[in-house]
Amino acid sequence: EAQVTQNPRYLITVTGKKLTVTCSQNMNHEYMSWYRQDPGLGLRQIYYSMNVEVTDKGDVPEGYKVSRKEKRNFPLILESPSPNQTSLYFCASSSYAPSGAPSTDTQYFGPGTRLTVL
Amino acid sequence: RKEVEQDPGPFNVPEGATVAFNCTYSNSASQSFFWYRQDCRKEPKLLMSVYSSGNEDGRFTAQLNRASQYISLLIRDSKLSDSATYLCAVNMAGYALNFGKGTSLLVTP
């Protein structure tokens, strides 16, 4: 079954305690990304990766790190979480046309990670 | 940067009603357009892609107006199960999807 998995699904932590949210996809997708979703602000992209070892900042990258050492995995790292990072996080993956041709590709989302930073 | 804008609603409609949502986008070079559905606290799931000629999937019809830079979603014969948030998404080929903040729909008995 094609899917994007995230772990953990729920996490309560304290300010400053480093954490990692894992994301894995089994569809051999090149493109992966992380979003956070907050009430009234919608989905905002944190980081994305076009392929292995290629990552770039999205709209709200401050306070986050990512890595893409393997195609299937794209972990999100919070080195020193703060309460303003309390949010619902989604990982997503898709394939895309490298030529940039119009695409009907879609992003498949993971089930979400609800993070609370106290 | 407000590249994709939607009316947040909520839209409260009775069962059986027809309801339409619009979504405007600012980048005229946008190439791909989608409607996603998101249930409370769940992940967004693709409802339908939006093609230039318009497309229909059962009770759902999506339209694209490039001249005015908006896409629309029409839901006919609303069901209780249609209650959700509908997100439009727009991208330029090879780049990230830009999502609107979503339009909330509540279908009531």
Q: CB distance from B72 to chain A under 8 Å?
A: no
pLDDT for B14-25, tens place per residue?
Answer: 999 999 999 999
Q: What is the mean pLDDT of chain A?
A: 90
* B43 interaction partners in chain A (CB closer than 8 Å): 90, 109-112
Q: What is the mean pLDDT of chain B?
A: 91
Q: CB distance from B46 to chain A under 8 Å?
A: yes
> The tokens of A37 are what?
């979703």
**B94 with A103: Cβ contact below 8 A:** yes
Tell me: cis bond preceding B109? Omega within 30 of 0 counts. no
Contact in structure between A84 and A76 (CB atoms under 8 Å): no
- Residue B100 is given by DSSP the state P
Q: Which chain A residues in 9-38 lie under 8 Å from chain B, judged by CB atoms?
A: 33, 35
> pLDDT 10s digit of each residue in chain A, 118 long?
889 999 999 999 999 999 999 999 999 988 899 999 998 888 999 999 988 999 999 889 999 999 999 999 999 999 999 999 999 999 999 876 544 444 456 778 999 999 999 9
pLDDT for A15-34, tens place per residue?
Answer: 999 999 999 999 998 889 99
- CA B88, B58, B102 angle in degrees (round to 5)? 20
